[in-house]
Structure 1
Amino acid sequence: MTPRSQPTGSLPSVFRFAPFAALLLLGACGGSRDPSSLAAPRNHLMGVDRSATGGDDQLQGGVNAYLWRGALDTLSFMPFASADAVGGVILTDWYQPPASTDERFKIAAYILDRRLRSDALRVSVFRQVRQGGEWVDTAPANNTVSDITTRILSRARQLRADNGHSDN
């Protein structure tokens, strides 16, 4: 797979977890950025308008607004390559953890449904390592996708609860 190709879901199954654990910890820290200060510009740039919500938890176009916002919040430490609120697709650009000069990550998140359910979210993680001056595709740790998916779902549920809805 080349860095620009679409995800195929055929990633090998055995990988290291430590580098990605550091990536998740860095994302959880968030540095000195105030997430609330990022909400309006990010929403404006991606075409998300608060008036576009249909019902309690759906964006116009059929994706769950809490899953969408949860994915944006969870992945906000990475640069976004594109985000389509109507189609429910978030693609990050390559992210290189500050502590590592020889690996980088890219994530694709797909919101597939209007309901806040685990099967309404699909996450693909891509990892490359530098070998001989070239970036080579390699797979992330086995639990990387499930860890990111869990974080997105947790954030979406938190947003829903904060908005006065019970989690059924």
Structure 2
Amino acid sequence: MLRRLAPTLPLVLMLAACGGGDRPREIAASQVTTIGVNSYLWRASLETLSFMPLLQTDSNGGVIVTDWYVNPNTPGERMKVTVTILDTDLRADAVRVAALREVNQNGQWVSAPVQAATVQKLEDIILTTARDLRRGSVIG
């Protein structure tokens, strides 16, 4: 087999050497290879929630749980966030955010509603960051 390829080997090597520096750069793959979920969504989620203390992270299961966070500008309320990454593909429906909010009433933390726009905004930020990370990981 090698003898039949030997005459064409220099031609193949020459063609391979024509690396095509003028070709457009390709976007990095959208799937993960080393953890159980999409690595761009995972990294984007960690980056987005980096200002909050983390309580639990599971890269194989795709779950990030923060501890309660009190914004210095609104000390009478606190938030806790859970991000779940549902797929290995970088897709809009592959990330879910759930949030809990409590307000301090007379020294007691009491559950309060979270605006739906808050959860949606966090999902949008994670997706945008993940896409930027992917664009930054171009091949070529």
TM-score, structure 2 as length reference:
0.75
Where 2:116 maps in the other structure, the secondary structure is coil
Tell me how large the CA RMSD over aligned residues is: 1.5
1:102 — aligned with what? 76
CA distance in 2, matches of 1:85, 1:142: 26
1:115 equivalent to 2:93? Answer no
Counterpart mapping for 1:18-167 below 5 A: 57-164=31-138
Q: How many residues align?
A: 111
Asked if the contact 2:30/2:134 (under 8 Å) is kept, the reply is: no
What 5-or-longer segments of structure 1 have no aligned partner? Answer: 1-54
Change beyond 3 A, Cα 1:86–1:154 = same
Where 2:72 maps in the other structure, the secondary structure is coil
After superposition, what is the alpha-carbon deviation per residue over 1:46-71, rounded to whole angstroms, capped at 9, x for unaligned? xxxxxxxxx76415353000000000
CA distance in 2, matches of 1:161, 1:119: 19
Where 1:140 maps in the other structure, the secondary structure is coil
Cα distance, 1:140 vs structure 2: 1.4
Point out 4+ residue stretches in structure 1 off by more than 2 angstroms.
59-62
Change beyond 3 A, Cα 1:156–1:142 = same
What 5-or-longer segments of structure 2 have no aligned partner? Answer: 1-28
TM-score, structure 1 as length reference:
0.63
CA distance in 2, matches of 1:94, 1:151: 20
Cα distance, 1:144 vs structure 2: 0.5
Asked if the contact 1:59/1:86 (under 8 Å) is kept, the reply is: no
Change beyond 3 A, Cα 1:80–1:59 = farther
After superposition, what is the alpha-carbon deviation per residue over 1:104-133, rounded to whole angstroms, capped at 9, x for unaligned? 000000001000011111100110001121
After superposition, what is the alpha-carbon deviation per residue over 1:20-52, rounded to whole angstroms, capped at 9, x for unaligned? xxxxxxxxxxxxxxxxxxxxxxxxxxxxxxxxx
Partner amino acid for 1:157?
R
Change beyond 3 A, Cα 1:59–1:83 = farther
Asked if the contact 1:60/1:86 (under 8 Å) is kept, the reply is: no
Where 2:109 maps in the other structure, the secondary structure is strand
